[in-house]
Every structure is written in structure tokens, then in C-alpha cells.
Structure 1
Amino acid sequence: MADLKLTGVEKAYGEVKVLRDINLDIKTGELIVFVGPSGCGKSTLLRMIAGLEKITGGTFTIDGERMNDVPPAQRGIAMVFQSYALYPHMTVRDNMAFALKIAKKPQAEIDAAIEKAARILQLTPYLDRLPKALSGGQRQRVAIGRSIVRDPKVYLFDEPLSNLDAALRVATRIEIAQLKEQMPNSTMVYVTHDQVEAMTLASRIVVLAGGGIAQVGTPLELYERPENEFVAQFIGSPAMNLTAGEVVATGAQTTIRLENGGTAVSIVPTAAADLGLKVNVGVRPEDLVEATGAAIFEGTVEITEALGEVTLLYLKRDAKGSQVIAKLPGIRPELRHSTVRLTADPAKVHLFTGGKSLLYR
């Protein structure tokens, strides 16, 4: 059992604060993923949990016990780094056993721990091989196995798949998901810049930006109910389309006139929008469809990208060069250089003012 709690946690290097007012509860059995742009502090926050970086403000506890000044080795945490960091002259078995031998564990206990971890990670046939005889994915599994044998309270993963090629990333990501299924009571914190990893692995995602937390939620909560423009555009690929507009009618429905003179209609369930309010209208590329009636966007398709199951359309909307991206099902190369009219289900349209959502708070 391992509940983690960060209360008002800060990190500063001299006068420069890189993280501030981090408040987060992580429950036993969760797989929490930290995501955000480069330099947002996600790896720094992970290293603070591990004890590799000093906490300069606030409190970090594990199961209610304050950890701020507890050495890394005494926190009950195991960390898997971006680099495998395996001992090249040791076999897989010896690499996995090393920390237990240093801790002077009985040989029978060491053997049992290695056999269990090897079985979970499908490494049993490779226990007597050297790291140079393994693929990149197998080496990363050995690094994970080295953590499992220690039976820690918390597992920390710092971009463990970033050194793998595309195919191995997919395979190893699935293996990590399967590992979590086999260890349902293990608490895991995972750092990545890859949205697919975050969306497919996480119990909850923590989006970091500007030194703080932009939003915390399940993958689908962040996708469907972003609380601010940053999360709306960061989650999802391609990013959400944002277009400036003004509220011109209110009531059961709110009508927004877009900057190019078009209109968009959105149902506003939780917040009233005043007439004349300046807003940004957000629509995800995959929520746009070809319009048979009124259109939200209209423009000339400058580029198409055929991805097989979908085609990306890059529309130029006006002389100012404002662009909209649509993701339509199927292969649609015939749409290049044509004029396309697009709309969306009003329930899929997002409204923002001052960078914050009018719909989800």
C-alpha cells in the first residue's frame, strides 16, 4: 500500500522557481502519468518524489509519513530511467540480483524474486544472457525487472520508452500495461512527452505547464472536458482548432460569430455567456464533418495527408492565412485545392474566455 501526497510542493534553483504550489493526491494502485512540454518540470517533480532532488517548499508524504528529508534508499521507491543503465559484464540474472545482494538478502529470497519478475516480464529464457545479446525492448524489461525484485512501495518511470524505435515503443508500452494489470496494488508514477503513452497507460494524467498543474483527470476527462486552452490543445493530435469569436445570441443555445463572419452554435450547460463576450471557439479536428447545411468553417484545402484510415485536411480560411485542420475518415485526396465546408455537433464545440473554459471548470 502506498498513498502519495504532495502539498504546496515547490522547487527553486536560487531565485528561480521551476515548480510551485504542486498539490496532488496519488492513491494506492494508480498509474499516474506526468505530461507537459519540455522544461515544464515533470522529470524534476519525479526526481523530487524519488529523493534525487531536494524539495524547497511544501510537504511530500508516503502513507502519511513525511519524506522531505528521507534519503532515497529509505523511501521504498524504485526508479526506471530513460537509459537502461545495465551492467554490461553481468548477466540478466546478475543485473536483477545486484541490489538484493548489496542489501544482503538470502540467496533463496533473491532467486525467488528474480524468477517471479522474469516470469512477469517474459525474461526467463534470457536470464543467463549478457545485455549486449538483448534487443532494446528486452533491455528495458530487464531495467524494469531490476525494480520489481526490490518489491518497492512505488515505481517511478522517467520516459522509459524514449530510446526505443516506433515498433518497440508500441510493444513495450503494451507490456507495461500488462505489467500494471498483473500488479494492481502497485503505485506507479510515469513521466512521458508522448500523448499516446499517457492516454493508454494512465489511471489519471497530470498536465504540467508554466511550473504548475494545468489539470488533473482521467485521459477521457482531459480529452472531453479540458478546463483551459492549454490542456485543450496539448491533449489530442492534431491539436484542437481555436478561432476567435464573439457571442451574438444567448438562451437555450449560445451563438458565436467567428472572426471570418461564420457562425458556430454551442450548448452551454454550466455557464452563461454574455452578449458581446469575446471567446475562442475550439473544435477538435476529428469532430469536424462535411457540412450539408450551415457550416462552422469554410476554406480551401491546401494540403492533404492520407494516413490510411483517415485523411488530414489543412484548410486556409481567409486571406490572413488562418488555418483549420480536419480529420476525415477514409482516403480523400480529391479534396486537395477544393473548397470544403465543415461543421460539428454542438456538444463537441468548446468555448474559452481568458484562456479558461466556459463549459468545464
Structure 2
Amino acid sequence: MTNVTLTDVSKSYGGTNVLKGIDLDIRQGELVVFVGPSGCGKSTLLRMIAGLEKITGGTLEIDGRVVNDTPPAQRGIAMVFQSYALYPHMTVRENMAFALDIAKVPKAEAARKVEAAADTLQLTPYLDRLPKALSGGQRQRVAIGRAIVRDPKVYLFDEPLSNLDAALRVATRIEIAQLKERMPDATMIYVTHDQVEAMTLATRIVVLADKGISQVGTPLELYEAPKNEFVAQFIGSPSMNLLPGRITATGAQTEVTLAGGGVALSAIPTEPDAMGRQVNVGIRPEDLVPTNGAAIYTGAVDYVEALGEVTLLYFVAEGNRPGVIAKLPGIHRQARHSTVALTADPARVHLFANGQSLRVRSATR
């Protein structure tokens, strides 16, 4: 069982703490994605696992063995970087076999491993081509193949798709997802700033912020039940709307009154002692819908982004009521400068006090 376990791991540069108190257990067969804002330490954490950055405190175990002081080559890891870093004068076959040649693996065994990896990555027709004759996505697959032939315990990906254009990024993301399905026992750790990559690839997502872990969970757990306002606004695009309000009744029919007017939201499950608390009411843009009846928010549309499959409506902030964004399916040509009334299903609403979630949810919905 190839597990990766971090216990109270920290990283400092001189007197500056970058990461602290990192506790994480990555199980065999998982594809765990690290996400977070720029500078949060996600690539640093990955490099610490790889052995490219020294761990300041705590312990790192790979396959049950503490590897804090183990050289990278002896950790049983393989890393795929942003840059393909392929040798331009070598063929695909030679690039993939290079690490095996350095390790003096018998040529017959090395050839078998290269051909098996090429078959997995659908690179067999390109084995005798030079990198310049490949597309960007194919080059990234060669870089992944170079990792596969080493048969590592853990695969590390450091933003491997960031240098690709939009179309190639989508295609290569699908290929990585399919690769993981073909390698169900492989343990993978993946760093990205792209939410779509995180949501579609991850078994679990680790959200990093404020020098530590803000929340760990499956993609839908983070989307449906964020533990705090940071995760709520970081996961999802556009970000969750936050509207000030106050809990005015609790019990079977919990009621929240929003500042600035609007019909109160009822029947929101919350903690039992939440009565009277000032809260931020979180509503995702895709959960706001136009209504001809009682509205929780009515405002003037200041700007429209028509994306074809969806339309984003940006509402003007007025008084003590912030502006919001609504994400409506389809095309809404006449929405700009109009006044639109919005409502939301209380089951989709989130409540936060002092930045932390008050929402009580069942395990599944």
C-alpha cells in the first residue's frame, strides 16, 4: 500500500513561515489535487514531498517509511513539471527510456516498459518521432510516459497543463483522467490553479490558505458543503455571492432576513443556537433564478456576459446591499439595464458567521 502521510509538516525560509501544521493522509489509488491562491504554498508542498525542498518540521512518510532526509532519487517518486523538458535530439522512445538507461536497466526490459507506457498513453505511432514533430499535448504525454516507465510509488504533477492552449488543455486533462482509470492503484498528487482540473480530476481536493489546509474533501463536498467563506468563494466560478443578514428565527423553520430588504429565506438547516446571529448569506450565482413572485433580491443589471450556454448578470451594489452575480442558463439578450427579481432554493443557501459555516447538511443530498 503506497500511502503518503504528512504529520505536522512545516516549511520556513529563515524566519518566514510558509507552511505550518500540515496533516494529510493520501491513500493508495487516490488522485489528490492541491489548490489555492497564488503564493499559498501548493507547489512548495509538492516539492517537499518530492525531496526538492527540505522539510523544516514534522514528518513525511511514503509507503510507511519516514523520508524527510531521503534523497529524491530514493523516494520512489516521479515528477511531471510544467515544462516538458524533453531532449530535442532524442526520439520519443529515447526520451522515455533515458532514465532507465541511466539506471542501467537491461535494454530488453527497458524496451518492454517503454512500449507498455506508449500503449497506455496512445503514443505508439510516435515512438520514432522527435519532439518537434509532436503537438504540445503529445509532448506532455511523453513527459508523463517518462514517469510511468520508472514504475514509481507516487506520481507528482506540478501544473502540467498550464503551458497548453485551451483546446489542448481540455484534451490532455481528459487523457490524464483516462490514464488514472487505467492505473487504479497509482497514487497521484497534482498541483493546479485551475478549478476545472481540480473538480474533474480529483479523488479529493486539498484547499490551501493562510499557511495551512483550509479544507479537504471530494470535489462535490467542497462545492456543496464548504467549511468556511474562503473555500465557499474559492471553489466555483463565478465566486459565491455573500449577502449580509441576520437569523431571526430558529427551529423547524429557520428564517434569515437579508440586509437591504427582500423576502426572508425560511427553512434553512442551521446550528440550534444560531438565533439572532449576524451572518453572511452565501448563494452561488447558478442558484439564483428570476422570479415573478416573492424575491430575496431585486436589482438593476449593470453588465452582461453572454457566453452562449449561460449568461452572467452583474447587479449594481446599492446602499448597504452588495452587488451580486447571477448565472442563468441560455441567452438573455435584453437583460442589461433591466430590473430583475431573484430568488433561491433555501436548500442551496449557505450561512457563515465569523467566516465559518453554520450550515447543517446531511452526508448526501
What is the TM-score with the length of structure 1 in the denominator? Answer: 0.97
Q: CA deviation at 1:261?
A: 2.2
In structure 1, what is the equivalent of residue 352 of structure 2? Answer: 352
1:333 aligned counterpart, secondary structure: coil
| Alpha carbons 2:34, 2:205 under 8 Å: kept | yes
Does the 8 A contact of 1:266 with 1:347 survive in 2?
no
Superposed, which structure 2 residues align to 1:1-361 within 5 Å? Answer: 1-269=1-269, 271-319=271-319, 322-360=322-360
The answer to whether the 8 A contact 1:28-1:187 is kept is yes
Question: What secondary structure sits across from 2:185 in the alignment?
Answer: coil
Partner Cα separation in structure 2 for residue 89 and residue 105 of structure 1: 22
Work out the CA distance in 2 between the residues paired with 1:266 and 1:222: 24
Residue type at the aligned position of 1:230: F
User: Structure 2 CA distance, aligned partners of 1:244 and 1:104?
Assistant: 65
Task: Report if the CA contact (8 A) 1:306-1:332 is conserved.
Answer: yes
Q: What SS does structure 2 have at the residue aligned with 1:179?
A: helix
Within 2, Cα distance between the matches of 1:266 and 1:156? 46
Residue identity opposite 2:172 in structure 1? T
Deviation (angstroms), 1:48 = 0.4
Question: How much does 1:275 deviate?
Answer: 3.4
Contact persistence 2:40–2:209 (CA under 8 A): yes
* 1:80, distance to aligned residue in structure 2 (A): 0.1
Root-mean-square deviation over aligned CA pairs? 1.3
Distance 1:256 1:321 in 2: 15
Deviates more, 1:255-264 or 1:305-314: 255-264
The count of corresponding residues between Structure 1 and Structure 2 is: 361
Following superposition, the deviation at residue 209 of structure 1 comes to: 0.5
> Which whole-Å deviations, capped at 9, do the CAs of 1:237-275 have from their partners, x for residues lacking one?
000000111122222122222221224425343512533
Q: Out of 200-209 and 239-248, give the one that drifted further.
A: 239-248
Q: d(CA) in 1 for partners of 2:145 and 2:65?
A: 27
CA distance in 1, matches of 2:141, 2:210: 33
Query: 2: CA distance between counterparts of 1:126 and 1:266?
Result: 61
Verify the 8 A CA contact 2:243 2:321 in the aligned structure 1. Answer: no
Q: Return closer, same or farther for 1:95/1:250 CA change in 2, 3 Å cut-off.
A: same
Q: Give structure 1 stretches of 5+ with no counterpart.
A: none
What code does the residue aligned with 1:22 have? I
- What's the offset of the Cα at 1:180? 0.2
Secondary structure in 1 matching 2:88: coil
Shift of the 30–49 alpha-carbon distance from structure 1 to 2, 3 Å rule, reads same
Cα distance in 2, alignment partners of residues 221 and 320 from structure 1: 31
- Counterpart contact for 2:239–2:284, Cα < 8 Å: yes
What is the aligned-residue identity percentage? 73
CA distance in structure 1 between the partners assigned to 2:266 and 2:35 by the alignment: 29
Letter of the 2:161 partner, please give it. Answer: L
Unpaired stretches in structure 2, ≥5 consecutive residues: none
2:260–2:321 Cα contact (<8 Å) kept: no
| Counterpart-to-counterpart distance in 1, 2:96 and 2:264 | 58
SS state at 1:335 partner: coil
Give CA-to-partner distance per residue, 1:59-96, whole Å, 9 cap, x none: 11012110111110000000000011111111111111
CA distance in 2, matches of 1:263, 1:15: 51
Counterpart contact for 1:140–1:160, Cα < 8 Å: yes
In structure 1, what is the Cα distance between the partners aligned to 2:228 and 2:320? 26
Shift of 1:183: 0.3
Deviations 1:195-240 (A, max 9, x none): 0000000000000011100000000000000000000000000000
* Of 74-83 and 296-305, the range deviating more from structure 2: 296-305
More moved, 330-339 vs 97-106 = 330-339
Q: Distance in 1 between matches of 2:95 and 2:288?
A: 51
CA deviation map 1:119-138 (0-9, x unaligned): 01111111111111111111
| Cα distance in 2 between the residues matched to 1:229 and 1:263 | 23
How far apart in 1 are the matches of 2:45 and 2:360?
A: 27
- Alignment-mate amino acid for residue 184 of structure 2: P
In the TM superposition, what is the alpha-carbon distance from 1:146 to its structure 2 partner? Answer: 0.3
Structure 1: which amino acid aligns with 2:50?
A
CA distance in 2: counterparts of 1:26 and 1:275, whole angstroms: 39
Tell whether the 8 Å contact from 1:256 to 1:263 is kept in structure 2 after alignment.
no
